[in-house]
Structure formats: C-alpha cells, structure tokens
Structure 1
Amino acid sequence: MAQQKNILLQDFDTLHRTPPFSQIKSEDYIPAVKQGIKEAYANIEAIKNNPDAPTFENTIEAMEHVSDTLYRVLYIFYSLLSADGGDDYHTLVGEIGPLTADLSSDIMLDDKLFERVKTVYDARETRDYEAVEMTLLEDTYDGFVRSGALLGKAEKKRLKEISAESATLSPRFSQNVVKCSGAFELKITDKNDLEGLPETAIENAAHEAKERGYDNAWLFTLDAPSFIPFLTFADNRDLREKIWRAYTARALEGEFDNRPIISRTLELRQESAKLLGFDTYADYVLEDRMVKKVETVTEFLDTLYETYRPAAEKDLKELQDFAQAQGDLDKLKPWDVGYYSEKLKEKTFEFSEEELRPYFPLTKVLDGTFAHFQKLFKLDFVENKDIETWHKDVVAYEVRDKDTHDLFGVIYTDFYVRKGKRSGAWKGSLRTHGSFRGEALPSLVTVCCNFAKPTDTKPSLLSHSDVLTIFHEMGHALHDLLGRTKYKSTSGTNVLWDFVELPSQLQENWLYESETLNMVSSHFETGSKLPSALIEKLRKSKNFMSGWGGLRYLSHAYMDMAFHTAKTPPKADEIVAFEKQATDKCRLFEDYGGCSATAFGHIFAGGYAAGYYSYKWAAVLDADTFELFQEKGLYDRNTALHYRREILEKGGSEAPEVLYHNFRGRDADPKAVLRREGLLKKAS
C-alpha cells in the first residue's frame, strides 16, 4: 500500500488554497517542518552561491521566498495550537521551536550570505529605490546585524544556543497558564451563593457544570466570561476572594510554576543583548521601535503617571466611601473593586452594563460589525461554507471590495470558549498576502475570542466589553487583509510593534457612537435597537474610574520595563519581590499575595517584551486619529479611504512616523488620549 502524501507539503486543491483541516494529522507536522527547513537551506545555498554579483533582486528579494513552505506549515500549526491545541500540539511545539530557531540562526549568522546583503546595502545610494524597496533592504540588513552577523565565531555559537533554548520557553510558559487555569473550578451547589449574579452568568455556569459532568451545580472558572461576571456581581465576598486569589496566583507554584521559566527567559534575553552590544534587553528591543530608547518610554510612562496616580487615588477614595456607606464593609480589598465599582456606576449613572447584554446577541453583533466595516471601507463579508474550518464553531467569510468584488482574503471567526483553547482574544494568520510557489494568494486570518456559548434558552449574549474586543481584533484582521505592499514581510501587521495597535484600538472608538451601536444591537427577544437613553448612559459612564484603569495599566508597563532593564535578572525565588518593587509606585492596596508576572503572557509568550508601553503609545495615535473622524464625520468616505490607503494598505512599507504624518498632516498630539479619557479638558 502506497504511503499517503503529507498534505502540508501539497498544493491545497481547495478554494483560495485554504487549508484542508480535516486532512491534516498531527504526525504530519514534524516531517513537513523538516522538509520546509531543508528547502530553506537549499534556497539559501542557491542565493549565496549565485555566481552573479549581488543585487537587490538576486539577494534581497530572493530571500523573501526562502522559507515559503516552512512558513505555510508554521502558520497553520501555531494557529491551531492557540485555537484548538490538544496535548499532541503542546508536545509538538517543544520539538518544532528549536528546529526553526536553528534555521533562523543559521541564516542570520551565515557570513557568506551576509556579505552579499552587505554589498547591496553599502551600495544603496547608487540606485533609486522605491520606498518599500529601501525599507526591505534596510530591514534585511538590520535584521542580520541585530541577529549577530557582526559577531565573532564563539559569540555567534552562543547566540544560536540562546535562540534555541528561548524557543522552548515561551510555549511552556503559555501551557502552564492554560493548564493551571484549567485545573481551577469553583463549584457551587448552594443557590444562595449565586446572589447578585446576572441570569446570564448563572445560566452559563449551569451549562459549564453540565458540560463537565456535574449535576445540580454551577461551575465558575478562570476564563474571562466566567471569572469577570463573578468578581463583578457575586454578593458572596468570601467566594469573590477565593476566585480572585486563584486568578492572581496562576502559574505561581506547584506543577505549573512559571517563575523558573521567567528567570531563565530574562537571563537569556539579557545575555543576548550584551552579546549584541546593548546594556539591557530593553535597549536592544527599543532600538527597533518608534521610541528608539528606554528614556523615551520612561518619560512617556512617567508623564501618564502624573495624571493617572492622583485620578486613581480619587477613584479609589470615592469607591471606599461608597462601599462603607453601604454599611457592610469596613475596608475595601482588591476582590471588592469590581463589585463596588459596578454598584457605584449603577448609582451614579443609573446604569449597569448588564442592561446592554440582551441587546448584543453575537449573531447581530457580527452582522453589525460587518456593516460597520462595509460603510467605513467599502467591504463585503460573505460566509462561504465551502471553505473548511478546524472546528464546528468556526465560520469562514470571504472579504471583498464592495465595488470591484476583488478578493482581499478570508476571515475565520472562532468565538466560543472551549477546553484547551488559549485564553483571551487574538488575531492570527494562516497566510499573509503575497505569492507562494509563484501563485498570488490572498490573506487568511483568524479572529479568536472566548465568549460564553449559547444555552438551551438564550443565544450567546455579549457585554459591551466583548463587542469592543470584536472590533479590536477585526481592526487587526483588516490591517492584514487590506495590506497591499509589494513584499510579504512589509505587508499588513508587519509593522513596528508600537504602531501595530493603532488599527485595532482605533476601531473601539466607534462603539460609543449611536450610529454604530444601532448597527450592532438588537434585543434578542424583541428585536428592538439599543434605546437612546441607554446609549447616553454608556457614553457618560465611559470614563468611569479611568484613573484607576490607567494606573493598573502603568503597573504592568513599569513591571515590563523593570524586568527588561535589569542588568542582573531576578532568580526564580525573587520574581514576586521584584514585581512588588517594580510596581510599588502604582500600588493602592497593601499586599494580598499573588503575582501578575507568572501569567503575563504578553511579555513572556506574546512578543511584547519591553513593549507593553506600546498599547498607550498606540492609544495616543488612535485617539488623535479618531478626533479627525469626529471632525470630518464618523463615516466620512474621504477620511476613511485616506486612512485605508495611507495606514492599512501600506503596512510596514515605510517608517510608521512617516505613514502617520502622511495621513494626519502632522505628528500625533500626545494629549489626545487624556482628552478622550476625560482626564484633560478639550480645547474650547
């Protein structure tokens, strides 16, 4: 019997060459990765042994396609690892990571290849390059230098070892958080313990208990759709404390302890930075960001701190006074903040966000989301059931230009929580826009969330925060889909890290505007739109406790910078104390235990190392951008298409500050974000 061919190495005989997920087996990955690596090495040999003199075309452009086969396999693997990964995927990642790290190191540390790149780079002034070509050339050269191409033989060898070990640590960190979270269950059998919880949260907890085989019980977990409502609404303070302590102690000890991984990760990052001539890992990272240096980040965060700290103290004082006035609390504690802030918001604005939930059934929200982007960017979203997905909950949509019907790509939506799925929400890529084996192919992107599933009596009903999440991730997705640059490595979200959140965060602004809210809302029973009175209350409550929220964000940003500016990284048993010291200036409560770092996937498993500041950096850009839409009109066609052409379509083809200046006609106003948060008065 002939051996079946590895589907991952074939040209997919499917619509738009989309992955045939049902034909992919876990045992296909390692052989496919190894074959992809083999092809990449062969392609590199062909480039560096080319008898012709080095040129942009035969060296720089040629390198764009060196790893086409490998990247196709890896995009699929890592997408499914996050969205649907079982134990076999978590086992495979430990093997795949080092294999690909070795390839990357071998390419970037190849003297002969770098010599060709350097020859082209050194002669860059002798040719009239397009902006995107110059960007690709400079990025390629800088990539080699930042990977150690100028180091000696011994240093290169050590850098390669560091890269290989580092590749195993991030997935282990993520797995520990997922497994630790999955091991926690708050099982309730006394109905009195459900007092205060919204009906939707209770129904979801009953559904979760039933799914896990518990009769006559309600089950709460550390997944956001379960954990957040419990902390916000449950009257039982002891149980709020229990679930808060579990959440803040994720991966802190025992079998899934992430402290040794954090310590080792920081050691390797600092060692690599020193080898490359930088004082700290943050110095290394920020050289390749809009901010360029640590001092700029520190000044930026400190400026925000001057506003956020007093505002947060004021927020907490009001909350403490309110809680004490209720007569059932003498001292506010961390597990009380969500609960009493919700009650204070209800009293202040005569409004609870739970009032919005019946108006946000997922199907209507998604229809409205598509309508919003159609109106803004002239796009059509059409479900295509002929496109295979990896799970029955996933739906594939073709995205086309409304006028020309040209295909931009496919969005796979995966919205429901399930066991083994990574927590949170994200935009993933199954394929970036560009050519593969000589064929031009559209982008394939994923939008993944963790919303509660429909129950027997109700559809999946979203909070306003959930709707914000969809708009955020769709902003990322369209950045990828609308990318139209000449090269894959400069397309879509392939931009500097502190610019990448602009397209996503910008979209959230529309969800406080009546016109957009009417698109995404429809009461799941009556079909009525969100009442104007509720919209007005939502708008008024938008900046409720914004000082508190801003200070919490700064706590994580300062922690990130402290970890990555430490010349002597903390040992495993020093992680908790190090975090406390780094975040002390943001502390408003005494210490109640726990540790944020052990579950801080953004910086230890998500690419945001020395980069968490970028959320607020991008917030300045998106607030400044939205002020233009407010001035010209929320759906002003000229403004929207100008933004699409200058920001979304151009990806990373030029420096982000150039792209932004071309779009806005000036640099961003740093005060725009504080104006939006109600912490700075708008100019009259």
Structure 2
Amino acid sequence: MKNRIISSARKSSVLVMLALVGCTSTQPQQGTATTSTQAPEVTEMKDVDNTALPENTLLKEWTGPYGGVPAFDKMSLTDLAPAMEVGMKMHLADIDAITNNPAAPTFENTIVPYEKAGEALSRAFTYYGIWGSNLSTPEFRKIQGELAPKISDFRSKISQNKALFDRIKAVYDNSQKTALPADQQRVVQLIYEEFAMEGAGLDAAAKERYAAINKELSSLYTTYGNNVLADEEKYVTYITKDQLSGLPESFVKAAAKAATDNGKPGMYAITNTRSSMDQFLTYSDNRALREKVWNTYYSRGDNGDANDNNQNITKILQLRDERVKLLGYDTYADWRLQNRMAKNPQNAMNLMNAVWPAALARVSQEVKDMQAVANASGAKITIAPWDYRYYAEKVRKKKYDLDSDEVKQYLELGNLTQAIFFTAGELFNFKFTPVPAGSVPVYHPDVKVWEVTDKTSGEHIGLWYLDPFARQGKRSGAWASPYRSHTTFNGKKTVLASNNSNFIKPAPGEPVLVSWDDATTFFHEFGHALHFLSSNVKYPTLNSGVRDYTEFQSQLLERWLSTDKVINQFLKHHKTGKVMPPELVAKIKKAATFNQGFETTEFLASALMDMKFHTVKDPTDLDPDKFERETLAALKMPKEIVMRHRSPHFTHVFSGEGYAAGYYGYLWADVLTADAAEAFEEAPGGFYDKQVAAKLVKYLFAPRNSMDPAEAYRLFRGRDAKIDALMRDRGFPVPNQKTQKAKK
C-alpha cells in the first residue's frame, strides 16, 4: 500500500509500452543540464523522414558497456517529439511487414516479429518516461499534451489492425488444436487476449468510436495528472521558527533547506507531498497548522479552480463505460478484471468486505485510545483527521514506549541500501558493485548505479539505478521501472532496473534518516527491481505483469527489514554506530500491528471507492464529490479518517488505467504475501531458509508471467493462499467459518 505507480515491464509490443504513458505523472523542475528549455514543434507524422533516425539520440541503439545503456547524458527535449513520431512511423512499418507476409501465419513469422517490432520507439519511450516522472518541466508537459492524442491514434492503428489480429488469431486458434512449447503457448495466449480486450474484433464503426474514446481519454489522463501536480507545486505551507514545536531536528533542517531553495530563507517549507505532510501531521504540536496542512494536501485537485479534477473524473468514467459497452461488458470493472487473479468484481469485493469490518472495529478502538490521551493532556478537542497521526504517535509511546523519531536514528539510507543488497545476496545470490561515477550516463547527479552479478559465477545480470531524493519536477511517491527487461529470443538482453524514491534531501553533511514506514517502502520497491532482475524468460511479452499479483513479490520483500540478520548488521545509530538495541527491536515487533485500523481503512476506502466508481451501470452526469461522500457514508467510513487517495487526486486510477478497477490488488497480493511469509516462518532456516528461497526464485520471481500466477503460487506453497494469515498479520480476528481461500 505504497504511494506509487509501478510501470509494467517494458517490451517491444506497443500494447505494453503505452500502459506507461497514461500513468505518467509530471511536474515542473528547476534547471537540469541534460534538458532543453525550448519546446520543439510537433510535426505531423506524414512529414517525418526516416533519415532523422541516425541523428536522433533518443532513437539510437544503446551503446557502451553492460550490453548498452541509455544515453541519459545526451538527452535533449528538442529531440523528443521528432523521436516519438519517427519511432511510431517505424513501428507501424514493422507491423506492415508482418501483415504483408503472404505466408500462412505461424509463431515464427507473426508472433516473433511482433515481439521484435518497435525497438527504436521503445527506446524513445524510456526517455519519455524519465522526463515524465523524474525531470518534468512546463516545456515537457506542453509536448506531452500534444503527443498524447497522437500516441493514442498510433496505438489504435495497431490494436485495431484487422490484418494483424487475423494473423494473431490464426496462430492462437492453431495453438488450441496443436499445443506449442509452454512459453510460446503463453505468449500467444497473452497477445491474443490483449488484442481481443482492446476491441480488435469489433466492426468498423465500433472500432472508429473505440479509437476516438481512447484518444479523448489520453488527453484527459494527462490533464488530470498535471492538475494534481500543479496543486502539489502551488500550495506550500511556510512556517516560522516559533511554529516548530514538536518537529524533529532532521525534519526542521530539511524544511529550512526546502524554504531556502524556494526563495524564502529563514522560513521552513512544508511541501504538499505525502512525505512532508505525513511527518508534519505526526509531530507538529500546532493543531491549527496541522489542520491547514491536512486540508491543503487532501484537497489537491478539488479546489474549484482551473486545476479542479471533478469534471475530468466524470468524463473519464463516462468514456470508460461507453468503451467497454462496445465490447459487450456491463461495467468497466467486469472488463478490466477478466484476466486478473480476481477474475470478476465480486471476488475482489468479497475479499475487501471480509477485511473491512475488522478494520473499522480497530479504528474505533484506536480513536478511543487517542481521545483518552488527548483528554488526559487537557486538550479540549474531539479527534479529527488532522489529529490522527499526532495522537497515534502519543499512543504508540504510551502503549509500547516506542518513539518513531528514536527509531529513525537507526535507519540511515546508506545502511538500508546495504541491507537490501545483503537480502538480495542471501535469497537470489546477487552481488551489487558500485559503478564508477561517469562510466554509466545518468539523468541527474542524484542517481547512482550498481552492477548486479551472480555471486558464484560472476555472470553479469544487469544494472540497478537508484534515484532517491524528492525534487522539483519529480512526481511524488516511490516506484520501480525497467529500462530493459531480460529476454533471450533475439540475443540475450540483460536487465536495466531502476528504483525511485522521494526521501527529503538533507542539509549538507547531514545523514538521510527515514521512518520505519519509509524503510519498508524502500524494501518494497527493491522487491520490484529484484522481480525484474531475476527474470528468466525468453520473450518480451512474458515480462508483463498481472496487476493483482505484481505487488506480491515486492510486498513479500518488506518482511526482511525486520529480520535479525538485517537488524544486527545494518540498523546502526548514525552517530554512535551501535546496532539497534534488542529492547528497541522488541518494542518495534510488539507494536507491529499498531495503527492497523488506520492503515487498512485509509487504503481499503480508496480501493472500495475505485471499485464502486467502476461498477456504476451508467456514470453519465455522476457528481464525484457527492458519490464519494454517499459511498463512504454507506460504508460507515469513520469521520476521523479520510481515503488515502481522494477521488480528485487518485492518480493511480484517473491519470491512466494501470490501477483503474484494480487498486484492490494490493490487498489481494497481501493475502499471498502473508501466506508466503508463513512458509518462511515455518521453515528450519526461517526467512533465510535455502530451500524455500530457491522455490521463491524458481516459481514466484524468475517466471514473471510465463505461467498463470495462481498455478505458480500453488507450485511454491503446495496449495492456494488462505486469508487467515493476512488477518493474523494485521492483528484482526481470523474468520470463524472454514478456512477461506483467496479466489483465483
């Protein structure tokens, strides 16, 4: 349940590449040497000459060491639009070569060239994603807005290409009669299903409308995401020295630096991002300021101004509904979940409804505990949403004698980085070696690179890029991206994986200290990177993900943060170098289920709202604010908690389609996570048991999407996952009925 958007594994197929585009959030940045400040003219595709290819850095094959690397040091924004347009033209030519083949369709003459198609465009999309997520400027956003509808048109030209679909369908039909090798059979199945879901079988008129809807949605997604980012940039709360009561020293120093960077030296900046808001609401003694910061953060995209997203939500829902009805589905959720583990909306709702009552009951107890602390301190208040984090921290200290700021002193980013490397070495036999500065291009000085090798053989696996700090022009949250995925069908390709975080950059000479939650997120995102790096598939399509499964591997990796081997070697006080004392470790573990009412409820409220939005039979003229209020009231949402992502800034769901009708997937994956963690707990070697670790890599990481996720999990565990472990994990009562299974 992290604030992030995970990019799907990149492959040459446009259907996967374009999944990244709609989800890209952007925000302006301050000057970066590798970007141009001039927005190029966007040329019509018919005017683009293929001779531009050798001169356009963004299309060129990657050269240099490690199987070639992106030329991040030569990125120029003036190249972006021409590269994208030439790349799209080249990709369409690749598709024409497939459809013009007079030979009967086979795997080798249809599927293999389809997997190879669009390699130059794929490289351009890598740079596009970097600007969109890490280095956004107003100039980039202008280009993005101009390109979005053209990219949508391009996508439709492939996904609705009748000749191409006829060939793919012929290969698929033949494979149902005469089975192909297992990996080829899976590739054909996934490609065929993707085309079918995108309307490839519609008649001409329906295809035309389908494409028009996608084009309009692409612009709406861009506008929605940019509106949220505009509100994150626009609203910064500045405070003075006399308003710092309760705030930790590390936060104060970082806030002072942020204010200075924004041209307000002598003040302290509370930026409108989760990392800043969360810390301020946890520690600030100033209730009026807590309320102001809370309102500023949770009203993003909902201020009734030019950046208000409510009308955009209504239009997005209307268009999604119209589009799936062209395909014969009752609701968007029915269409979206057909190839997910949940299979249908009801199964997803059943899981959420099984957990929701226990979460509400825990919230009720948490609020009582907080109100008692407030009353005892003489505060004449009723707990409100902007009080929850503040008084939860006081209850934590009272119940468990656990001070979050004390814990942070042992969570230094450099040590945590070594901790994730150690974990990867123990489970995956990977070794991480720093790449000398300057030998691999990076897009920002903050980015560091490591080579990943096999500890035993020394074989090169890939590179791992880390971009850890928040900055202007970088979207909020934490995420992982593959710049290149492992494949062997066209010569072996090694992995280029990236992790991106938004830790607050400290004052010069100060350590980077993070909270336990942020350390958990760091392990989580590294789990995605390990999923990329451990891939052992032949074809690009098999690196794609299943949304309600793809969070499982990363959520599972979080568990190693609290293992004894990690704690005793890497959780050291940043000043004394002493390992976190056993008594503090005991407090952390004792408090493991603390505040689970809040954490589960704020997430589940968003997940339930997502599903409710996408199961409305007719969303025409739907009022998002009213629908949100009425739905939460029907769910008996506690007044002391707000959704983790309110509808006007729910970028997971409305700035693209990656998590639309799929935000429940974090909970679905956590059923698997809790159950798999118990497999390690039950093993002789615990979380470092070699046999269980080998099965983990063999069945749950290396195959990627080369086998059905439900079958992969059964091969690992010997059975389906049970919800019981999840309930135990969160300290909730295990259901009384017969052991439930997460339906696959």
Partner of 2:512, secondary structure, is coil
Question: Counterpart in 2 of 1:233?
Answer: 283
Consecutive unaligned residues of structure 1, counting only runs of 5 or more, are none
Question: Quick one: which of 577, 585, 593 aligns to 1:535?
Answer: 585
- Matching of residues 393-472 of structure 1 within 5 Å: 393-434=446-487, 438-472=490-524
Q: Which amino acid aligns with 2:397?
A: E
- How far 1:272 sits from its partner (Å)? 0.7
Question: Counterpart in 2 of 1:582?
Answer: 631
Task: Kindly provide the CA deviation profile for residues 379-436 of structure 1, in whole angstroms up to 9, marking residues without a partner as x.
Answer: 0111113111100000011111111122221111000110111001001222222369
Partner of 1:634, secondary structure, is helix
Task: Kindly provide the CA deviation profile for residues 436-463 of structure 1, in whole angstroms up to 9, marking residues without a partner as x.
Answer: 9x55321212111110112135211111
**1:640 partnered with 2:693:** yes
Partner of 1:444, secondary structure, is strand
**1:252 partnered with 2:302:** yes
**1:488 partnered with 2:488:** no
Cα distance 1:25–1:595, how it changes in 2: closer, same or farther (>3 A)? closer
- How far 1:224 sits from its partner (Å)? 2.9
Contact 1:361 1:459 in 2 (8 A): yes
Contact 2:99 2:167 in 1 (8 A): yes
Partner of 1:256, secondary structure, is coil
Question: Quick one: which of 74, 91, 112 aligns to 2:142?
Answer: 91
Question: Counterpart in 2 of 1:188?
Answer: 239
Q: How far apart are the structure 2 equivalents of 1:594 and 1:225?
A: 13
Q: Which amino acid aligns with 1:654?
A: M
Question: Counterpart in 1 of 2:94?
Answer: 43
Partner of 1:318, secondary structure, is helix
Question: Counterpart in 1 of 2:428?
Answer: 377
Contact 2:273 2:297 in 1 (8 A): no
TM-score using structure 1 length? 0.96
**1:169 partnered with 2:203:** no
Contact 2:59 2:123 in 1 (8 A): no
Q: Which amino acid aligns with 1:502?
A: F
Cα distance 1:599–1:453, how it changes in 2: closer, same or farther (>3 A)? same
Question: Quick one: which of 3, 20, 40 aligns to 2:71?
Answer: 20
Contact 1:415 1:451 in 2 (8 A): yes
- Matching of residues 284-295 of structure 1 within 5 Å: 284-295=335-346
Q: Which amino acid aligns with 2:542?
A: T
Higher relative contact order (CA 8 A, sep 6+): 2
- How far 1:682 sits from its partner (Å)? 12
Question: Counterpart in 2 of 1:654?
Answer: 707
Question: Counterpart in 2 of 1:67?
Answer: 118
Question: Quick one: which of 165, 169, 173 aligns to 1:122?
Answer: 173
Q: How far apart are the structure 1 equivalents of 2:676 and 2:229?
A: 36
**1:283 partnered with 2:334:** yes
Consecutive unaligned residues of structure 2, counting only runs of 5 or more, are 1-50, 737-744
Q: Relative to structure 2, which stretch is displaced further, 271-280 or 603-612?
A: 603-612
Task: Kindly provide the CA deviation profile for residues 161-195 of structure 1, in whole angstroms up to 9, marking residues without a partner as x.
Answer: 11112122222222211111111121112x23111
Question: Counterpart in 1 of 2:722?
Answer: 669
Q: How far apart are the structure 2 equivalents of 1:118 and 1:251?
A: 43
After superposition, the CA RMSD in angstroms is 2.0
- Matching of residues 199-278 of structure 1 within 5 Å: 199-253=249-303, 254-278=305-329
Q: How far apart are the structure 2 equivalents of 1:374 and 1:209?
A: 40
Q: How far apart are the structure 1 equivalents of 2:643 and 2:77?
A: 40
Partner of 1:161, secondary structure, is helix
Question: Counterpart in 1 of 2:400?
Answer: 349
Partner of 1:7, secondary structure, is coil
Q: How far apart are the structure 1 equivalents of 2:233 and 2:401?
A: 36
Task: Kindly provide the CA deviation profile for residues 461-480 of structure 1, in whole angstroms up to 9, marking residues without a partner as x.
Answer: 11111111110000001111
Cα distance 1:290–1:594, how it changes in 2: closer, same or farther (>3 A)? closer
Contact 2:602 2:642 in 1 (8 A): no
- How far 1:97 sits from its partner (Å)? 2.4
- How far 1:137 sits from its partner (Å)? 0.9
Partner of 2:431, secondary structure, is strand
Question: Counterpart in 2 of 1:312?
Answer: 363
Cα distance 1:661–1:66, how it changes in 2: closer, same or farther (>3 A)? same
Partner of 1:455, secondary structure, is coil
Q: Which amino acid aligns with 2:540?
A: K
- How far 1:319 sits from its partner (Å)? 1.9
Q: Relative to structure 2, which stretch is displaced further, 70-79 or 387-396?
A: 70-79
Contact 1:356 1:464 in 2 (8 A): yes
Task: Kindly provide the CA deviation profile for residues 559-593 of structure 1, in whole angstroms up to 9, marking residues without a partner as x.
Answer: 00111111222647x11111112222142117999
- How far 1:257 sits from its partner (Å)? 1.0
Q: Relative to structure 2, which stretch is displaced further, 582-591 or 147-156?
A: 582-591
Contact 1:453 1:459 in 2 (8 A): no
Question: Counterpart in 2 of 1:479?
Answer: 531
- How far 1:658 sits from its partner (Å)? 0.8
Q: How far apart are the structure 2 equivalents of 1:463 and 1:20?
A: 34
Q: How far apart are the structure 2 equivalents of 1:586 and 1:484?
A: 46
Partner of 1:408, secondary structure, is strand
Q: How far apart are the structure 1 equivalents of 2:389 and 2:71?
A: 44
Contact 2:606 2:644 in 1 (8 A): no
Q: How far apart are the structure 1 equivalents of 2:459 and 2:222?
A: 38
- How far 1:10 sits from its partner (Å)? 1.9
Q: How far apart are the structure 2 equivalents of 1:629 and 1:435?
A: 32
Cα distance 1:558–1:275, how it changes in 2: closer, same or farther (>3 A)? same
Aligned length: 677
Task: Kindly provide the CA deviation profile for residues 19-65 of structure 1, in whole angstroms up to 9, marking residues without a partner as x.
Answer: 11121211111221122211211111111121111111111222111
Q: How far apart are the structure 2 equivalents of 1:456 and 1:350?
A: 32
Partner of 2:409, secondary structure, is helix
Q: Which amino acid aligns with 1:395?
A: K
Q: How far apart are the structure 2 equivalents of 1:602 and 1:370?
A: 29
Question: Quick one: which of 635, 650, 659 aligns to 1:600?
Answer: 650
Question: Counterpart in 2 of 1:551?
Answer: 601
Q: Which amino acid aligns with 2:362?
A: A
- How far 1:130 sits from its partner (Å)? 2.2
Q: Relative to structure 2, which stretch is displaced further, 416-425 or 83-92?
A: 83-92
Question: Counterpart in 2 of 1:366?
Answer: 417
Contact 1:316 1:548 in 2 (8 A): no
Contact 1:313 1:548 in 2 (8 A): no
Contact 1:121 1:141 in 2 (8 A): yes
Contact 2:59 2:121 in 1 (8 A): no
Q: Relative to structure 2, which stretch is displaced further, 11-20 or 225-234?
A: 11-20
- How far 1:661 sits from its partner (Å)? 0.7
Q: How far apart are the structure 1 equivalents of 2:596 and 2:109?
A: 53
Q: How far apart are the structure 2 equivalents of 1:72 and 1:508?
A: 31
Cα distance 1:167–1:432, how it changes in 2: closer, same or farther (>3 A)? farther
- How far 1:96 sits from its partner (Å)? 2.6
Contact 2:360 2:638 in 1 (8 A): no
Q: Which amino acid aligns with 1:472?
A: H
Q: How far apart are the structure 2 equivalents of 1:259 and 1:520?
A: 46
Q: Which amino acid aligns with 2:466?
A: T
Question: Counterpart in 2 of 1:565?
Answer: 615
- How far 1:321 sits from its partner (Å)? 2.4
Q: How far apart are the structure 1 equivalents of 2:94 and 2:247?
A: 60
Q: Relative to structure 2, which stretch is displaced further, 223-232 or 332-341?
A: 223-232
Contact 1:576 1:595 in 2 (8 A): no
Contact 1:357 1:463 in 2 (8 A): yes
Question: Counterpart in 2 of 1:81?
Answer: 132
Question: Quick one: which of 344, 349, 352 aligns to 1:301?
Answer: 352
Cα distance 1:69–1:320, how it changes in 2: closer, same or farther (>3 A)? same
Q: Which amino acid aligns with 2:302?
A: L
Q: Which amino acid aligns with 2:220?
A: L
